[in-house]
A and B are shown apart, each in its own frame.
Chain A
């Protein structure tokens, strides 16, 4: 199968709406499952992994939720296609490195993704825009209930679903939300927030999960404990904590605009200046500056730009997505030039940020920063 025939246009993904999508970029629920007969992928030899893939793949493809889905063995995907899937958060970096004996299945609108023989035989996830943890859970729970009729899962009445790593044991669930928190970063409150979230048994990670940086002020919050409490309890705790983080982020933004308006507008104005005028720009710098522009859109500084434009550029300027738009193989330096060209062109119609006078939304420019 050709991945290009299936991928949803970045502009379309960016326009999807969800509750609190000003701060919560997406919600995701992932389940880890294994079949009873077979070693875990990390320990199974290649012939066994292939046998397991051949057992699981037809069962997954036959699911009603995955009618007409993209389904492929990892060794049939080019390096570029795999990188595209990582940039879209549809497969993990760990899965990206796998080849024969591993597979991936994606539904047409990219809201369900199934990795076969990643760390576990099955890693199934449902994605939703904005804060929609429950909807994501319902979707993946249903898919799982259909699949358990076709496969015999490794399950123990005391330990629950058995997983390769004991950290995922029990429910095998990971509930996570991708949060855009520029306010907390600018207000230097982010470390305190991360620490208190950690104390509640939740993990805070960077844009691409475990061991990655928080590029573009994007943080992933997820549960760590999977055994000893139900999926509903885990969801509930996540919802409570997320509601608090959202509130803190909104407060931080409000306080910044009120007390340190110059600092905030300076950051946003400079970010726009570079994005709209640069002739060479790295992907990392782009993400960090687009984050500030996104904040500017939220603060109504860009009346003619939508958040969707920023989100689309966030995806389109990443290395594999940029390469995909050009037929020649690009070096990193060439990508930096083409990235800058694209940004200048797309931002040409976006007027520079304007700060309205006191009293209106985002006002306070004349109130000097002490």
Chain B
């Protein structure tokens, strides 16, 4: 595709503008883009990909201090450049700045979908133990020791580490 201004050099800068419901496309070569005052580098890629202000959000949350991911060495300057993170660990490293960013781009900030089965059974197990533990405490509080014994056996059978419970 050739630049639509000079019609000589290949177009490398593509702009799409929507004005009064009409889409207008402009394809420019680098030189013409510069001449027209379109400067691609004035937009960080992160801003283009994630919406304006995205890179700033991450930057501000760090309080101006250069934060680097301890695992992969990715910095917020890299995020600004790439609009993507370095490794899974980065989500913990940049958690503060990401939170508000995620709010603007998603329905919510908590995952509500599929969970890998290995984690699901772990979580189910933890939930189950927690419920039993609560029931056990209640039974002890009510001095219903017969019920407490049954619950303790049930927890033992589940194979979890039994938390120490002290009857009052």
Contacts and interface: CB of A to CB of B under 8 A. Distances in A.
Contact of B107 (A144, A148, A167, A227): A227
B84 A192 contact: no
B91 A228 contact: no
Contacts of A145: 117
A149 B110 CA distance: 24
B119 interface: yes
A166 B91 CA distance: 9
A251 B82 CA distance: 44
B119 A155 contact: yes
Contacts of A159: 91, 109-111
A153 B116 contact: yes
B22 to A, nearest CB: 8
Interface residues of B, number: 36
A158 B111 contact: yes
A329 to B, nearest CB: 21
B109 A228 contact: yes
Contacts of B112: 170, 228-230, 233
Contact of B106 (A36, A148, A155, A226): A226
A166 B98 contact: yes
Contact of A195 (B21, B105, B118): B21
A169 B88 CA distance: 11
Contact of A141 (B21, B78, B114): B114
Given A148-B117, A166-B101, A227 B108 contact: yes
Contacts of B117: 145, 148-149
A39 interface: yes
A43 B87 contact: yes
B86 A166 contact: no
A169 to B, nearest CB: 7
Given A156-B111, A171-B111, A211-B14, 14 more contacts: A40-B86, A42-B82, A149-B118, A165-B85, A166-B50, A166-B98, A191-B21, A192-B21, A227-B102, A227-B107, A227-B111, A228-B110, A229-B107, A229-B108
24 contacts: A34-B88, A36-B88, A155-B119, A157-B119, A158-B110, A158-B111, A160-B111, A160-B114, A164-B85, A166-B50, A166-B85, A166-B101, A167-B50, A169-B102, A171-B111, A171-B113, A171-B114, A225-B107, A227-B108, A228-B111, A229-B112, A230-B113, A230-B114, A231-B113
